Amino acid sequence: MLRARLGLMEVDFLVDTGANASILPYDCVTRCGLTHHLDQSLRARLLNTVAEYQPTIRGRLRAQLHCSNGVVLEPFWVVLDPGIPILGMDVFTGYNCALSINSTHPKMFIQRPLRQNAARLANPVNVNCLIQSDLQQAGQTEWATLDTGSSCCFVSHTVAQQTRLTIIPLSSQTSSRIHTITGTAQMVGYAFAYLTFLGKVIHVRLCVKEHQDEAIIGLDALLALRLNMNFCVEEEEEET
């Protein structure tokens, strides 16, 4: 979480590498007394494929978010649905952020933006991930998203079958919906697997979903690996 000042209030933001946009719930904007800074000319919907979260965008907030090191972030999408404030990939890449992910001393460093209004929509971080039921067995390489906004790891039912994972079905007493940080997700069971990505290997419990576009490496695995993530984009050369 990152605490920052918005208007006259301090707001805690979830640092979510699986979100391409940074958002604020409308009720948060109201509490901060900033509704007069809300540009409502744009309406749209966002989609979180893991948590099945599809908030309606109420507009764009034209107000500054002040961080502890003097960096000012702006603007933010404002969503109508209740939820939690989220810092997404638009901020991470636009402000050259660095994350140190560990449960003891998590840190986030925000640099000055590359240019004015540098924050813009950016895709989540995808990596090649080898999924194996056993380290001695052949596995399958899939695209996986590094997602600090997901409390656990996910894989599709199809990929779980292709990699010959043992899918443990849910018992009748177990809910088929699992609570993630940003919402809930429907699952059909779970499986244990070895994941190899970025030169690291970890044994995790995967939540198996019926439909999932890519594998999700969630916060539980990222914390266990104490992963450091640096986000930067090269400045485009100006034409002369």
Q: How far is CA 148 from the centre of its chain?
A: 5
Q: What is the pLDDT of residues 76-88, one digit of tens each?
A: 777 766 678 888 8
**Whole-structure pTM value:** 0.77
Superfamily of domain 2-109: Acid Proteases (2.40.70.10)
Nearest to 228 by CA among 98, 96, 122, 104: 98
Q: What pLDDT is stored for residue 194 in this prediction? A: 94
Each domain of the chain, given as residue ranges in start order, spans 2-109, 126-229
Q: Could you give the percent of the chain with pLDDT greater than 90?
A: 10
Q: What pLDDT digit, counting tens, does each position of 29-82 carry?
A: 888 888 888 888 766 556 555 555 666 777 888 877 777 666 667 667 777 666
pLDDT digits (tens, 9 = 90+) for 128-185: 999 998 877 778 898 898 888 888 899 988 888 888 899 998 876 565 666 565 566 6
Q: Could you check whether 2-109 and 126-229 share the same CATH topology? A: yes
| CB-based contact 94:232 (threshold 8 Å) | no
CATH of 126-229 among 3.40.50.920, 2.40.70.10, 1.10.1740.10, 2.60.40.1120: 2.40.70.10
